[in-house]
Amino acid sequence: MINAYTTNTLTYNSELCTGCKMCSTVCPQAVFAQEKQIARIVNPESCIECGACQRNCPTGAIFVESGVGCAYAMMYAALTGKKEPTCGGEDEPSCCCSSDN
Amino acid sequence: MKPKTNTQQRPTDIPVVTHHITPADRWDHFVAHWGVNRRGRRVKPGLYALGKPTGDSPVLVTANYTLSFDALRSASAGFDCYIMVLDTKGINVWCAAGKETFGTEELVHRIEITALSTIVDHRILILPQLGASGVAAHEVKSRTGFSVEYGPIRAKDLQEYLKTREATPEMRRVRFDLLDRLILIPVELVHFLLPMVIAAIVLYFLGGPQVAAASIVAILAGTVIFPLVLPWIPTPNFSTKGFLLGIVVILPFALALLWDNPETMVWQRAGKALAIALAFPPVTAFLALNFTGSTPITSKSGVECEIHTYIPIMAWMFGGGLVVTVILLILNILGGVL
């Protein structure tokens, strides 16, 4: 049985880490943990590619190709010829956008 | 540099709001979950005083979606604070952060035009953790002097956070509990109600009441049952979960079609059963796959992989069901003629 969610685009260069703990703070899936003053990926398969760690890493040690994990938005983008699938815009799909968070 | 005094809010101009959620607010939240006027739930962006904040009071940042704003208002009960509402075009924090309307630029802009540094004495902003994918804390700090603290994911943990200013690992983990999933069902249902009714009417005349009922069940399985049972279907992917669920709910209909109506010929009954067994489970699977967008637990890579792997299977199965249906219709017409 294929598990579509075991691979993702998250990469991390620990040599650039300054131990600021931002990645482990912002990650909603506990992918990062702090060990010996630097961050370590402890839960790679849980990454949902939200991009929070990359954006909040001050030294650029983290890379992840972030985007919406929404099939409807992706198929909509593919069918309408848009490059980047997005949701929640004026004339875009907004399946997720009724939640309260 | 001359300050832009005309666009700045003075403390006396700051609108005051309360922690209280009125029955009217609750009703509005309820209809929002049914998809009514989804674009219209906007709070005016800017700074708000919640209770009687002073220069030392915390500043909480949120989206200008009324449900986000109200969740923050009620969750911070007992604390006097400022709420800074970013212009996210009426979209919640998580979705808006994904497209950066809840983002660094908007936050920096909002700090400037509300003249926040003249209103509070400290230099700390509390943002919801799910806003972090749009906001670079270090950039906000270097551009405005304000430090960003990421608060808990869920509004219900805000009380604890405001007391301790520390989020436990549990508070930092996104969850997708039964209640979170339950609340999404009405919108899913409203979304697919009309296609469901049309499909059922067409299929009633094409294949009879059992086929029409099976189509309703296939769509309800994908929109109502799927969100409920999501974690308990024992496969990792949404599509395969949907296929399994679709097969389980359609199987009784297929068997009923096979055994009922003994006056018709076996090939007719078998053909009908085959047609719905092929055509309907992929419908449930497709709806299940689309539910990925409503969850905070799927990655872009994973969903792409699902689309490439399972959409062709869904298309072939559904197409196969249509072909069987057409063959059956032709044979029936020929049978009537002969």
Say if residue B100 is in the same domain as residue B212: no
Which of B174, B190, B210 terminates a domain? The answer is: B174
Same-domain check for residues B213 and B111: no
In angstroms, the CA B293 to CA B291 distance is 5
Instruction: Give residues with Cβ within 8 angstroms of B87, minimum separation 6.
Output: B45, B64, B101, B106, B110
The verdict on a CB contact (< 8 Å) between A101 and B295 is no
Q: Are residues B198 and B325 in the same domain?
A: yes
Judge whether A3 lies within some domain: no
Q: Which residues of B touch A71 (CB under 8 A)?
A: 238, 289-290, 292-293, 303, 306-307
Query: Do B201 and B118 lie in a common domain?
Result: no
Residue of B nearest to A56 (CA): B136
Q: Are residues B212 and B129 in the same domain?
A: no
Longest dimension (CA), chain B: 93
Contacts of residue B302, defined as CB under 8 A and 6 or more positions apart, other chains included, come to A4, A5, A8, A69, B237
Distance from CA of A76 to the nearest CA of B (A): 11
Of B71, B172, B297, the CB nearest to A25: B172
A44 contact B CB<8A: no
- One domain for residues A77 and A56: no
Q: Which residues of B touch A8 (CB under 8 A)?
A: 299, 301-302
CA distance linking residue B138 with residue A18, whole number of Å: 13
The predicted complex's ipTM stands at: 0.88
Q: Please count the other Cβ atoms lying within 10 Å of the Cβ belonging to residue B236.
A: 15
Name the residue facing A26 among B32, B96, B129 (closest C-beta).
B129
Same domain flag for A15 and A59: yes
Looking at the fold, whether A56 and A93 belong to one and the same domain comes out as: no
In this structure, are B13 and B138 located in the same domain?
yes
**Cβ–Cβ pairs < 8 A, chains A and B:** 190
Query: Residue A92: CB partners within 8 Å, gap ≥ 6?
Result: A73, A76, A86
Nearest to B87 by CA among B67, B68, B72, B107: B107
Within this chain, do residues A73 and A57 fall inside the same structural domain, yes or no?
A: no
Chain B contact for A88 (CB, 8 A cutoff): yes
How confident is the model at residue B2, as a pLDDT? Answer: 42
Say whether B309 and A2 touch across the interface (CB within 8 A).
yes
Write the residue in B35, B96, B132 that is nearest to A88 by C-beta: B96
Contact A50 B95 (CB under 8 A): no
How many structural domains is chain B composed of? 2
Does B13 share its domain with B121?
yes
Type of residue found at B5: T
Same domain, B144 and B70: yes
**Whether A35 and A77 share a structural domain:** no
Q: Do A71 and B307 touch (CB under 8 A)?
A: yes
Q: Does A76 touch chain B (CB under 8 A)?
A: no
CATH number at residue A34: 3.30.70.20
- A49 closest CB neighbour out of B138, B184, B299: B299
Note the pLDDT tens digit of each residue in B179-225. 999 999 998 899 899 999 999 999 999 888 999 999 999 999 999 99
DSSP code string of chain A: ---TTS----EE-GGG-----HHHHH-TT--EEEETTEEEES-GGG-----HHHHH-TT--EE-------HHHHHHHHHHT-SS---SSTTS--SSTTS--
**Chain B contact for A42, CB < 8 A?**
no
Closest CB to A8: pick one of B32, B93, B301. Answer: B301
Cβ atoms of B81 and B54 closer than 8 Å: no
Our count of domains for chain A comes to 2
Integer Cα distance of B141 and B108 in angstroms:
9
- Same domain flag for B279 and B212: yes
Top-confidence residue, A34 or A85: A34
Asked if the Cβ–Cβ distance from B98 to A71 is below 8 Å, we say no
Is B309 within 8 Å of A71 when comparing Cβ atoms?
Answer: no
Residue B97: its chain A contacts at CB < 8 A? 50, 52
Domain boundary residue, one of B159, B174, B189? B174
Residue A1 included in any domain: no
Chain A residues touching B303 at Cβ < 8 A:
4, 69-71, 74
Same domain, A15 and A57: yes
Residues B169 and B195 in one domain: no
Domain that holds residue A99: 69-101
Task: Measure in Å the smallest separation between the Cα of B42 and chain A Cα atoms.
Answer: 13
Residues A41 and A80 in one domain: no
Could you say which of B174, B209, B244 is where a domain stops? Answer: B174
- Which chain B residues are within 8 Å of A73, Cβ to Cβ? 293
Q: A94: distance to nearest CA of chain B, Å?
A: 8
Q: Cα–Cα–Cα angle for A50, A55, A57, nearest 5°? A: 120
Query: B64, B44 in Cβ contact below 8 A?
Result: yes
**CATH code, domain carrying B27:** 3.40.50.11600
Could you read off the pLDDT tens digit of each residue along chain B, which spans 338 residues? 444 444 445 566 899 999 999 999 999 999 888 888 877 889 999 999 999 999 999 999 999 999 999 999 999 999 999 999 999 999 999 989 988 999 999 999 999 999 999 999 999 999 999 999 999 999 999 999 999 999 999 988 999 999 999 999 999 999 999 999 999 999 889 989 999 999 999 999 988 899 999 999 999 999 999 999 999 999 999 999 999 999 999 999 999 998 887 788 888 889 999 999 999 999 999 999 999 988 888 999 999 999 999 999 999 999 999 999 999 989 888 876 65
Asked if A25 and B150 come within 8 Å (Cβ–Cβ), the reply is yes
Same domain, yes or no, for B170 and B200? no
Q: Look up the domain containing B169 and give its range.
A: 5-174
B307 and A5 in contact by Cβ < 8 A? no
Q: Does A4 reach chain B within 8 Å, measured CB to CB?
A: yes
Average pLDDT of the residues of chain B: 91
Are B226 and B100 within one domain?
A: no
* B92 closest CB neighbour out of A69, A93, A101: A101
| Separation CA A87–CA B160 (nearest Å) | 32
Domain membership of residue A4 (yes or no) is: no
Q: B interface mutation test: which of A17, A91, A96 has the most B CBs within 10 A? A: A96
How far from each other are the two terminal CA atoms of chain A, in whole angstroms? 33
